[in-house]
């Protein structure tokens, strides 16, 4: 499998407030190395999202860490990022641009992945140390609890950590009959949650939704900007607005009636962290 892993590139060994990359060869994975993965396909998110994610990871770890991006377009990528090809998956063409594509990351074997691996969506904003995500409940599937279903056992797969190889049935079952799964579940995180017997939620203060955790309720959102709690580690920007839009106080909507409540003031802390 072709990847940049053969190149001699740096791995992050810096901590909070650090200034540069470490000097370990990118292709050499030590036992203590933390592995983070993401996936980028299509045109929804540009390469700037991937490069910002890499930069945020480097600033928010004190440990040896690598980022692997599975993608079909690595043009302009930060050379610190390892690149691997998009994994194959039996996915109907109509779903190719949807989050169901992320299920391909659950197959085993995949690249050189092993142990506990952390996943981030490209549109998250990292606001605090991420090392705790690797220390929390080792060997189990850990995920942010879905903010729109707080009383249900459903995770939000913007942020999750999984034990490689121990849950490959999630991919295998889907790949064998994707239409059956698609008829039963509306989105992939519902399917993953239903198929995960050993799931635990990350502490709620670590993983926040910009819209559901931080945006003041109507009509206060017209007068009070979203505030970032000091204990937050990752903020998810699922749906709209995107981080750059929320930063600038823009919530793009087409329907005029939605503009009466879909509103966000400029949010300066996004610029501080999303870079």
Residue 10: the pLDDT is 40
For 144-199, give the secondary structure using H, E and C.
Answer: EECCCCCCCCCEEEEEEEEECCCCCHHHHHHHHCHHHHHHHCCCHHHHHHHCCCCE
The pLDDT tens digits for 74-111 are: 999 999 999 999 999 999 999 999 999 999 999 999 99
- List, for residues 248-257, the tens digit of each pLDDT value: 999 999 888 9
Question: What stretches of the chain adopt beta strand conformation (E)?
Answer: 34-40, 65-71, 82-85, 116-120, 125-126, 141-145, 155-163, 199-201, 207-209, 234-236
How many whole angstroms separate alpha carbon 205 and alpha carbon 234?
Answer: 9
pLDDT digits (tens, 9 = 90+) for 118-158: 999 999 999 999 999 999 999 999 999 999 888 788 999 99
pTM of the model: 0.88
Report residue 175: phi and psi, to 5°. Answer: -65, -30
Beta carbons within 8 Å of 95's beta carbon, 6+ residues apart: 101, 178, 182
Q: Which domains does the chain have, with CATH numbers?
A: 4-201 (3.90.550.10), 211-273 (no CATH)
Give the tokens for residue 164.
């490689």
- Write down the pLDDT at residue 256: 86
Query: Which are the contacts of 177, defined by CB distance < 8 A and separation ≥ 6?
Result: none
**What are the structure tokens assigned to 79, written together?**
């050379």
- pLDDT, one tens digit per residue, over 184-232 is 999 999 999 999 988 999 999 999 999 999 999 999 999 999 999 999 9
């Amino acid at each position: 499998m072709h990847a940049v892993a053969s190149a001699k590139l740096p791995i992050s060994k810096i901590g909070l407030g650090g200034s540069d990359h470490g000097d370990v060869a990118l292709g050499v994975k030590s036992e203590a190395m933390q592995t983070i993965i993401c996936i980028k396909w299509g045109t929804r998110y540009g390469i700037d999202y991937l490069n910002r994610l890499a930069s945020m990871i480097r600033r928010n770890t004190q440990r040896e860490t690598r980022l692997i991006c599975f993608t079909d377009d690595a043009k302009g990528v930060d050379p610190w990022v390892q690149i691997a090809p998009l994994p194959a998956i039996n996915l109907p063409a109509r779903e190719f641009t949807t989050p169901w594509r992320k299920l391909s990351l659950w197959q085993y074997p995949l690249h050189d992945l092993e142990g506990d691996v952390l996943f981030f969506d490209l549109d998250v904003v990292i606001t605090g140390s991420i090392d705790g995500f690797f220390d929390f409940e080792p060997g189990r599937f850990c995920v942010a609890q879905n903010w729109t279903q707080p009383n249900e056992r459903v995770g939000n797969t913007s942020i999750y950590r999984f034990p490689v190889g121990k849950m490959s049935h999630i991919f295998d079952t889907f790949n064998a009959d994707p239409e059956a799964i698609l008829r039963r579940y509306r989105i992939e995180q519902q399917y993953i949650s239903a198929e995960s017997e050993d799931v635990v939620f990350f502490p709620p203060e670590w993983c926040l939704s910009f819209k559901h955790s931080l945006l003041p309720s109507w009509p206060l959102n017209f007068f009070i900007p979203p505030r970032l709690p000091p204990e937050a580690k990752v903020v998810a920007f699922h749906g709209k607005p995107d981080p750059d839009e929320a930063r600038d106080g823009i919530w793009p909507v087409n329907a005029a009636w939605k503009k009466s409540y879909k509103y966000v003031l400029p949010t300066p802390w996004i610029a501080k962290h999303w870079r």
